[in-house]
Every structure is written in C-alpha cells, then in structure tokens.
Structure 1
Amino acid sequence: MEVAIENRNLDALKELCKAEKKLAKDDEIVTAKVENLLKRRGFKVAEQPSATKEEMARRHFAFAMNCMRTGLCSKGIPYSTLQDLLETSSIDECKQLFSIIEENINEFKQPGMMDSVQNAILRSCNDLLRRLSRTAETSFCGRIMFFLSRFLPLTEKSGVNFMGHFNTANATVYDETDTESEALLTVATSSTPAAESEDIEVGEIEEDNAKEITVTPEMYRQFWSLQKFMSNPNSLYEKDKFAVFKRDLSAVLSLMTSNKLEKPSAEEEEAAERKERKKTSADDVFFAKYLTSPKLLPLQLNDSSFRRYFLMQSIVIFQYLTAECKFKPASKKMVLNEEQAKYISDCEEKCYRLLSDTMPRGNSFKDSLKRIMQREHEWNMWKNANCPDFAEKADKGAMQMYKKKTRTPFNPTNLDLGTPELTKLWNYEPDVLAACRADKRKFSPSLANFIRDPLDEMDPEQQVEEQYKSINDSAFQWRAARLLMAKSPGYISKQEKSAEPTTNIKEFLERTMYNSAKNIDEFKAGIEAREKKEEEARKKVEESLKRKLDTSKAKSSTSSPNPYADTLSDETLAQLAADLAGHAKQLAEVFSIGSAEETLKKTPAKTFCLKVLKEWAEKNGRSGKALLNTLISDIEVVEIAQKSLRKIQEST
C-alpha cells in the first residue's frame, strides 16, 4: 500500500484494500491504515525542497481526493494532509500552498464535505493568522480573510464578531513626558534651514512649500490619547471619560479646521490619477501602525491620507456610540444622554465636512464613506436580529438553469424603439410627418368662427355693454393676436413714418377683426349693410348740423363776423385748444387718434389739443371752415369750436 500511495496508483491501492478487507474482516481497520499512510506520505512531501513542494503537494492532494471519492478514506483526510503541510512549512511556502486551498474551495463547500472540513479549515486559517505579522504580511492576511469570507456561510457566528468584542490590547505608545515631547516639537517646528537639514533623519522626506502647522506638547498628548478611546469605545459611556474625549477631540478638530490642506492644482490631480491608474495588484504596499514621534505629527497633519485615517476612525466610533447594539450590557446603561448625543452628531457632520475638504477627490471619498457606513448599519441590524439565515427568505423552488433567449435577427424594415408602446405609437401612421400635418391635428379655430361673437358685440344694434365684451379679457386678446397674426393679412400693415405706434391693443384688435371680416364671404353682406346704415346716420347728422349752422347765419346780422372766412392763426388755435380741453377724448376720436388715452395720462389736455389742432392745420391750410366741417361728426365738439371761433372773431 505504501508503494501504491507513493506512486499514486489508485487501481493498485483498490486491489490491495480489497485483499486487506478479506483478511482483516473489518473495513474500518483498512480505512485507518490507508489514512495513516496518506498522512505519512504528506509529511514526506513536506520534506521536499521549496521549488518542488507545491507541485508535489498538488499531486498528493489530488490523489487523496480520489481516494476519498472511491471510499478508501474519510472526507477529512485530503484537507488534513494539507493542514500538516501548512504547519511544517515556512511563511513563503505557505503562500504557495494556500493557493491549493483557494482553488478547491468549491470542493470543500459541497454538502457532504462541508461538515467534515469546516472546523479544520477555520482552525488552520486562524493558526496561519497568528503566525503572520499584520504589518509585514498584510497581503497574505487579506487573502486568508477573503477566503474565509467566501468559504464560511454568511450566518457563521465566528465570522461576524457576534458579541462585539474590542481589541483593547491594541495600545498606541507615545511620549507622555513633558520634557522630551517639548524638545522634539521645538526642533520639528524650527524654521531655520540649518535646523531643518540637521534634524531630517534617514528615510524622511523634506517637503517644499508645505504649510507649517504649529503643534504644542498639549496638542500632541491630546491627539494620541484619543487612540485609547478608539480601541475601547465602551469606556466613553462613563461620564468622566466622555468629558476627556470631548475636550481632546474638539481641540483636534479645531486644529484641522483652522489648518485646511491646500487644494492641489488641476495638473497635480491629473498626475495623481494617472499614477493611480498605473498601479497594479502586484505593487508592494506596506501598512504600518501609527508612528507617534513628536517630530512627525506636524507633517502627519499635513498629509491627506493621515487625516482621512483619523476622521474615518472618529466616524466609526460615532456610529457605534449612537447605534442600538444587542451585545451592549444593559446593566451598565450604555446609552448617551441628550447632550452627548447632540455633540456626537455635530462632530460627525464636522468630520464629513473636513473629509470633503481633504483633497484629492474629497467629495467622492466622503460619499463612498457614507455608503460604507450605511452598509455597516445594516450589518449591525442583522446581527441584532441574531443573524437570520438569508436562505430562509429565498425561493423554495429548485433553481432552474438559465435559458438563453433566442436572438431576433435585425430587420431594418421593422422599427423597434425598445418598448411595444413606443413602437406602436411610431408605427401608427406610415408617414409620420404627414400625420403630424393632418387636418385633424389642427386644433386652432377658423378665423370666421373666432371673430363671429366679437363682431356681434361691436354692432351698435346688439346694444352689448362695454364691460361684457369679449375683447376686455386679456386671455382672449392673446388668442386673438396669435390667430390674427397667422391668418389675417391686415394684422401687419405698413404705417406712415409720422404715425404714432399703436398702444391700445383693444382698439387695434377690434379694428383688425373688423377689417378681416370684410374679406370673409360669411360677413361681407352684414358688414356692407352695417356700413350703409352708419353712412345714412352720419349724413343725417351732418344735414342736421348744416341746418343749425344755416339757421344761426340767418339770425346773425350782416355786420356779424364770419368765423369761416379767417385763417387760423397760432393764437386762434391756442384759444380753441383751451376751450376744447374738456373734450380732448372726443377730439381725438374725431381725428382718429388711437393712442389718445395713453397720451392724455402723460400730457395735459390743453397741450394735447393744441398739438392735434396744429398738426391738422398744417396739413389743411389753416382753414376754419374746413376745421368745422371735420368736427361736424361730433355735435358737441363742433358747437364748442363754433362758439370759440365766433368769440375770437368778435374780440378782434
């Protein structure tokens, strides 16, 4: 059997075991013999040189696994041989042998195998971690912890620190004597070049243009004394110790706030990102415990990584102090009072602010840390619930194999916009542009339907009061302006240079709608009849005024002055404007001045009338008779003008 195991001849080992079982008549004795020979062969493999040990170990482990599958040995023997190899090998050899365990993790997690090897794997990993240095062999420690996190089930109590124990033996040693710390801090903060060159030790880096932070011996002791609270947060529930923690932490945060790190330039940030991208997993990284020399603290506070370590420590402690933890002893009343809780909340916000101000990429680092702390909170709540198995909430049905969906070949004639509704909407009409231009999509009313009611309201025969007209509504005015601009040819008309701009939108829209109705067949007949009636009424008024004028002429004596024969002088126009000032609006309507209301708000009535009369007189030869004929459309205005002219004639 020993030769068959050494040559890894499984068939020969099977035949020998059958023969042994017939002679011994006890299967357990034969199995124990095979297991003993496998373990002895494992010790011989451990004696191999480092160059060939890993390969020999792989072959022996594979042979032991085949023996286990055929029932020649128990399920725990293959890993037991690996465990013996790890215990008798150096650290460098263990790094190579551990890859065998990592590669066979799926074999170890099989239902029948898991119960046999779980405790052995956990024990050997813990033994390795005890042998390793956390600072010099950080990478290998991480491999072991990562393997355990993948191998052990999530509900395994040994991997979650269920009782919440702290490593109180993690003490940070620093100089607590006043004389030594004061002397070192004095040297460290010296500004003379000679002192700087003398005090820089081997391995230290002299930073140019670094902002100097003054650290007193008291600040040095306050900063490093906080580490004892970090390693044992439960002590902070004592009132006296919390007061010390509050005093020291406030001093440190104030120092960091008053001495913010300078933001690097864009070129420096870009260079740092390029350097970060070039880093590979094979880069050697050394993780050291805090260096507590008084000479280093001013430089450490200028380092962004050092600040982040300290601020992250503080945030973790803050969350622990305020979290509800099942394992906190209820008898000790480990709860913060209202004042302490408010201080912790304020300090947490300050730490996050300092992290966002710590470059490079301060805001992204702060956001990442918040997500990590949220995950930590959820992890704590899961532990409070006694670590329930997530498998209980999973689907009870058997897992189905993933069926790959059949791919639909691309067809350019069939449009697919991603969802059935979008595709249906796009394929609603064959020509989408034509469908958008279809008549059924034109929601604006026709011009005839829109102006029908306003035209009726403008008709004097309808006797619609001014306050009830549609044109007074601002919304109607906006819609009318938009529609007339698009469909009425007279909306934009060429105006004379001397004409004043239109400021009364109401009158402008009424005039435009009325002129537009003249070109619509539906309204032509009604507008012609309306204009005919208005013309007849105007003629009647003119005839009536003429008869009154003729009657006044007959009554007057032959020596009476004739107001129509004289030319209108500037003095006459000024007197006439003064008499007509009370009827400025009617005068503006007679001369068809649209913006009279706005102008009268800014200009006195007499000045407005004088301006209007002068402009008319310049264009019409200053004829008094022509002026009265123009004013005849308004009886009240023409009578006032006639009396004023007669009065002026008599006085002269």
Structure 2
Amino acid sequence: MSDKLGFEELRLKYKDILSKAFSTNNIDLLDSFSKNTNEVDRKAAMDQAFRDKLLELLIENPDTLESYVSFCIESCRRHMVTPTMPVVLLGDIFDALTLNKCEKLFEYVEKGVNIWKEELFFVACKNNLLRMCNDLLRRLSRSQNTVFCGRILLFLAKFFPFSERSGLNIVSEFNLENVTEFGGDNSSTLKDALDEEMVVDEDNSKLTIDYSLYCRFWSLQDFFRNPNTCYNKIQWKTFVAHSGSVLAAFSSYKLEAVELQKSKLNRLKAVNSDVEMQESNKEQHYFAKFLTNQKLLELQLSDSNFRRCVLIQFLILFQYLTSAVKFKMEAQELKSVQVDWIKETTALIYRLLGETPPDGKKFAECVKCILHREEYWNSWKNDGCPEFQKPKAPVSVDSDEVKKTRKRRRPVGDIINEYRNQDKFYMGNNELTKLWNLCPDNLVACRTKERDFMPSLESYMLSEGGAGGARRTTSGGWGWRALRLLARRSPHFFVHTNNPIGRLPDYLDDMVKRVARDSAANAAAANANGDTNTNHNDKAVKQEAVEEDITEEQMEADLIKGADSNDIEQVPDSTEGGDNDEKTTRSRVTMISPAELDAVSAKLTEWKKLAVKLGYKPDEIQYFETENATDEARAKNMLQLWFDDDEDASVENLLYIMEGLKLVEACEALKNAK
C-alpha cells in the first residue's frame, strides 16, 4: 500500500512540475527535479504524468498538442521518460480526435520521420507506430478517405526499411478476399444507356452490350484476383474466351465521339467561363472500387480511366504468368501456345492504350517503363529480399606496399571447405573442377534429355536390319528392346486378348504388322485431313456473310465440346500442342466414332465414377456439371475431352476401364455399337 501511495504522490508532483516546465518551455527545470529519484520509479511516474497532462490539454488547449509531443521527445533524449512515450501520446491523441483533425495532425508525424528513425526511438517505437497507423486505417474508409490512407501507407514505407519482413509479401500471396460481386437482370440489353452514339467499327456493326458480355467482363476479376487459376487448362480456355470478348468490345467502342463532343462544348462556352471549366477539368475523381451495375457498363466503357484500369490489370496478370517467381509450383508453367497468345494480346493491349485519349501513346510508354522496373523488384524478392546497403568506399593502398605484399597460397583444406559449403567439388584442377561440377550427381546426369536415345516406334520396328537377311524378331537383343519400346509407346501392348502368346518371335512379327498398319493409316488420315481443311476453308470464305449472326457463345461451345469429328480424331489440345511435336498422331482405329460415343453416353449414368478413374479433378467434374444440362451430355463432353487430350485414350482402354468399374450397360452399348 505504501508503494502505491508513494507512486501517486510522485506522479502528482511530477504533473505539477511538468505543467510549469511546459508552460515556460523550460525542460531544465523538469530535469533537475527528476534527478533525485530512482530511475525506474522516476520513469514510471513521469510517463503517467505526461499522459495525465495530455488529458488536460485535449480539453483545455488542443492547439498545443504538437508542441507537447516535441517537449516529450526532448525529455526522452535526456532519459527522463521511456522512448516509447511520444508515440504513446500520439496514439492517445489520435484516439481522442476526429478524422479531420487527425489528418492535420498526421502531417506532424510525417515531418518527424527522421526523428522516429533515430537509434533511440526506432527499435522501441516501431511496433507502437505500426499499431497506431493500423488503428487509423481501421477507422478510415478506403473509398471516402483514399488520400489519407495513401499518406499513412507512404509514411510506413518511408519509416521501415525495404527489408522489413512485416511489410513484404514474401511468399507471393494474393488477396483472395477482394471478391467482385455482380449480377442483374439478363433480359435488358442496355441499348439506350447514352444519349450520344459510340463510334462503330469498319464493318458498321455496333457491338451490343448484352448480359453475356456483362458477365464475361466482370468475371475476369476472378482471374485478376487469383492468377494461379490460369494454370488450370479449363479455366485458361474460359479466360481466353472472355478476354477476347472484352478486348473486342474495347476495339469497337472507341472514345473519339466523346472527345468531339467535349470540343464542341468548349467552342460554345463563353470566354468568361473558360477558366472555370479548365479548373473543373483538372479535378479527377478516383473510386477505390468500380460499381458493377449492369446499366453502367456502356458508360464505363466510355470512360478512359476505367478502360486504362482494366487494360493495366491484363498487363500485370501477363507479367506474373510469364515471369519466374520463386514460390511457383513446378506444374505452374505455361505452354508455348499460351506464351504466344500472351505476346499477341500484350501487343494488342498496348495498341489500345495508345488509342485511348488523352495522351494515349505517352501513357502506354509510361506503363511499359513501370512494368519493366517491376522485374527488378521481382528478382530482388526471388533472392530473399536482401537488405540494401551502401557500397563501402575503396581503401587506397600505396603501390609500394602492394609490391611488397606477396600473395600467400591458400591451404587446400580451406578451398575444399569453401566448395563444400557451396555444394560443389574441388578436384585440384580448374578445368577438371569445372567439368565435374556441371552435374555432380551421376544419376541426374544420366536422366538428362541429351542422354535420351529412345527412337520412335515406327523407325525401330519398321527399319530394315538383320545380317544375311535373317529375321530381326529372332534376335534376343532386338526383341528385348522392342518389348521395352512397345511398353512405352504402343497401345497394343496392354490390350487384353483371349489368344495366348506362343513364341516371342511370332508375337513380335504380329506387332510389326500392326505398327505398319497404324503408320499407313496415320499417313492416309493426315492427307485426308489436309484436303478436308482446304475444302472447309474455301467453304468458310463463301459462307462468311451468311453466318454473321452466329453468336460468340456458340463458337466457344463448339471449341470446348469439339463436335467436329475431324478435330476429335486428329487435332490435339491447343494447350499441349507445343510439347508433343515428337509424338506420332494416334490412329483412327483407337479413336471412338460418333455412333459409339452417343451409345455409351446414353447408358453412362454413373459418369462421375468414370471421370475420377480417368484422372479428372473435382473442379473439372464440376465444370462438366455446370456446362451441360443432362448426364448424357456431361458424359459425352467428358469422353470427347479424354479422347482429345490423353495419348493413351482408345476404345479398348475405355472398355477395359468400364469393365473394371462394373458399368455393364455402358460396356454392352459400346460393344453393340461396333
């Protein structure tokens, strides 16, 4: 109890002397009075006295708050109070003031950033300053107090060093909580949203802003929010289709009409009102999040700021997809076809930015420069965000001393330890060390692509060989290699048959005949496909004017479902075409016919069980459910994609898998359809 009374008495005395010292701006008076007390008791009582005096100033004289905090900073430098006291006082002041007064007082905090960086305050105050700024940000509205929020974030960026871990997105996480909600009545077409007419394209066909374009436009925000979804094959196709629709709308809806209308208004204005209009044009209104009402879409397409915002989102997404990020998974890698599409679309976006007034070309060059500088930040983060340090000045050494000093030879043990720390080997010779460290692991060196000497199936099985015209199939070495090659690259090797294998040479002779038939069928199919494509292109040119009313939704559905039988049999998936140049085209014998596909889809009620067995993921199964109305259509869509994508897909393998899953009706339908 005596300790408490002693503390209270000391606090009251310190409060009185603090009032006198602050009113006369005489810090020496406070310093001389506090030297007669124990340091721990003195700082505790003095801290409380400062906070008590602050409450009086908030009520009686709030204009002296900045001077009071400066007085507390000087007291800290004389070790009269704890170093965290100025920031504690600032936190109490911000809690007691309104947001308008807080914004004015925050200028004092910004100007004192060098004070907070001093050795006395930085370590002790950095957590309190961060907490104080976060409390302010929680009180502010991102849409109403955007400038104040930006000032707070800029202050934190100036106060903390670049390598501060609390301010870095080390693992490249995305803000998945930033969900853009949209929706509305899909019956409205939004044709009369503007009084003025937009500029039409060269074909004089105005693009209608319907509900489909509205949904595609705002659904792109899900890809901008989480770019990793673009590595999913089905999601990538959706993204490409929606991006094409949006960029086509941007190309059709130019902003020249709006600029012409503004110029007419400027000519009609009187001379006295020109100055007021120029001042009003300088004001730029910024919204933290755009509205997603369907009736506003055509108005938003006429806004240059809105258009630039969306186009820059595309460029940021493309830069992430094509750049090397340390925390990307191994599967998150684009195919060559996807990279080519990104390059073409990036060129289109920069052209649209250059056509967007005002100062479109200048703005596009600025964006390109900023994104180029962003690559340096990305490489810095990949290196683990090392701390920035000023380079040390070179130490000047006299030339005479350099001549006298003789370079000592390092011990071999130190050199070996240095190489071992770098996971390398020292072989005693520079050339030998360099050669050995190209690949220290012998097993990894054996698995490199340069050591892959496996020939193609046709070139090995159909090549002429054998000394004296002897049969190749009777050679044990040739037969052993043929069996390994068949197990790797032939669908006939694992086909179930009721005929037992007799002698190995007879089996290999049969396999050689099958490979020869497949090779001939592939060549004939390739020639037929080329003729079909030529005829199809000629017809398409003639029918282009007739088929103008085909909607883009139908084109996308045909692309995904792959209803064309020629595409089902011959064309591989576009996202995988770049990696399978060396693989031979599969035979028509192994593909499924349209009649077989319709028959097995009608009986395949448990298509989800088959989808899991074929290797489809839950999100892909959900895609089949949402895109098709009936189970028959879902099963048909799934089987079409499987035959297009999987190189091992064949009617025999499908029949074998369904027999294992005990889908008896589907198996009987497939057998009868043959």
> Please, which of 99, 104, 123 is the counterpart of residue 96 of structure 1?
104
Report what 1:402 is aligned to: none
Report what 2:179 is aligned to: 171
Aligned-pair distance for 1:16?
A: 2.4
Gap change, CA 1:267 and 1:218, over 3 Å in 2:
closer
Report what 1:226 is aligned to: 220
Deviations 1:388-431 (A, max 9, x none): 22215354789xxxxxxxxxxxxxxxxxxxxxxxxxxxxxxxxx
1:189 partner letter: K
Tell me the secondary structure at the aligned position of residue 299 of structure 1. Answer: helix
Instruction: Answer yes or no: is the 8 Å Cα contact 1:136–1:286 preserved in 2.
Output: no
Q: Matched residues in 2 for 1:279 and 1:123: separation?
A: 39
Deviations 1:470-490 (A, max 9, x none): xxxxxxxxxxxxxxxxxxxxx
Give 5+ residue unaligned stretches, structure 2.
Answer: 1-13, 200-205, 268-273, 397-674
Aligned-pair distance for 1:374?
A: 0.8
Aligned-pair distance for 1:259?
A: 3.0
Corresponding position: 1:62 with 2:70: yes
Aligned-pair distance for 1:213?
A: 4.8
> Please, which of 165, 172, 177 is the counterpart of residue 157 of structure 1?
165
- 1:403-482 alignment, distance < 5 Å: none
Aligned-pair distance for 1:313?
A: 0.7
- 1:198-277 alignment, distance < 5 Å: 207-211=195-199, 213-262=207-256, 264=259, 268=263
Q: Matched residues in 2 for 1:345 and 1:284: separation?
A: 33
Instruction: Answer yes or no: is the 8 Å Cα contact 2:198–2:253 preserved in 1.
Output: no
Deviations 1:38-66 (A, max 9, x none): 12223433445xxx52x221121011012
Q: Matched residues in 2 for 1:14 and 1:125: separation?
A: 31
Tell me the secondary structure at the aligned position of residue 136 of structure 1. Answer: coil
Q: Matched residues in 1 for 2:77 and 2:334: separation?
A: 58
1:128 partner letter: L
Gap change, CA 1:250 and 1:139, over 3 Å in 2:
same
Corresponding position: 1:381 with 2:383: no
Report what 2:649 is aligned to: none
Report what 1:362 is aligned to: 360
Q: Matched residues in 2 for 1:208 and 1:266: separation?
A: 9
Instruction: Answer yes or no: is the 8 Å Cα contact 1:4–1:10 preserved in 2.
Output: no
Aligned-pair distance for 1:189?
A: 0.5
> Please, which of 346, 349, 354 is the counterpart of residue 348 of structure 1?
346
Aligned-pair distance for 1:255?
A: 2.0
Instruction: Answer yes or no: is the 8 Å Cα contact 2:213–2:245 preserved in 1.
Output: yes
Gap change, CA 1:275 and 1:305, over 3 Å in 2:
farther
Report what 2:15 is aligned to: 2
Deviations 1:74-111 (A, max 9, x none): 22211211122113332222112211211211111123
Report what 1:127 is aligned to: 135
Q: Matched residues in 2 for 1:161 and 1:275: separation?
A: 45
Identity of matched residues, %? 32
Aligned-pair distance for 1:359?
A: 1.7
Report what 2:326 is aligned to: 326
Q: Matched residues in 1 for 2:394 and 2:75: separation?
A: 35
1:208 partner letter: E
- 1:595-606 alignment, distance < 5 Å: none
Tell me the secondary structure at the aligned position of residue 172 of structure 1. Answer: coil
1:5 partner letter: L
Instruction: Answer yes or no: is the 8 Å Cα contact 2:224–2:313 preserved in 1.
Output: yes
> Please, which of 28, 33, 37 is the counterpart of residue 11 of structure 1?
28
Q: Matched residues in 2 for 1:90 and 1:129: separation?
A: 13
Instruction: Answer yes or no: is the 8 Å Cα contact 1:95–1:140 preserved in 2.
Output: yes
User: RMSD of the TM alignment (CA)?
Assistant: 3.0
Gap change, CA 1:351 and 1:274, over 3 Å in 2:
farther
Deviations 1:234-279 (A, max 9, x none): 2222222111111111111122223333274699499799999857
Deviations 1:97-129 (A, max 9, x none): 211211211111123322121221122112211
TM-score of the two chains, using structure 2 as the length reference: 0.51
Larger C-alpha radius of gyration, 1 or 2? 1
Q: Matched residues in 1 for 2:87 and 2:343: separation?
A: 50
Instruction: Answer yes or no: is the 8 Å Cα contact 2:214–2:297 preserved in 1.
Output: yes
Gap change, CA 1:64 and 1:392, over 3 Å in 2:
same
Give 5+ residue unaligned stretches, structure 1.
Answer: 191-195, 197-205, 399-652
Report what 1:309 is aligned to: 309
Deviations 1:361-397 (A, max 9, x none): 1110100000110111111111111122221535478
Instruction: Answer yes or no: is the 8 Å Cα contact 2:353–2:361 preserved in 1.
Output: yes
Tell me the secondary structure at the aligned position of residue 294 of structure 2. Answer: coil
Tell me the secondary structure at the aligned position of residue 391 of structure 1. Answer: coil
Deviations 1:165-200 (A, max 9, x none): 21111111111x6xx1323x3xx314xxxxx7xxxx
> Please, which of 163, 172, 182 is the counterpart of residue 187 of structure 2?
182
Instruction: Answer yes or no: is the 8 Å Cα contact 1:213–1:302 preserved in 2.
Output: no
2:187 partner letter: E
Corresponding position: 1:75 with 2:69: no
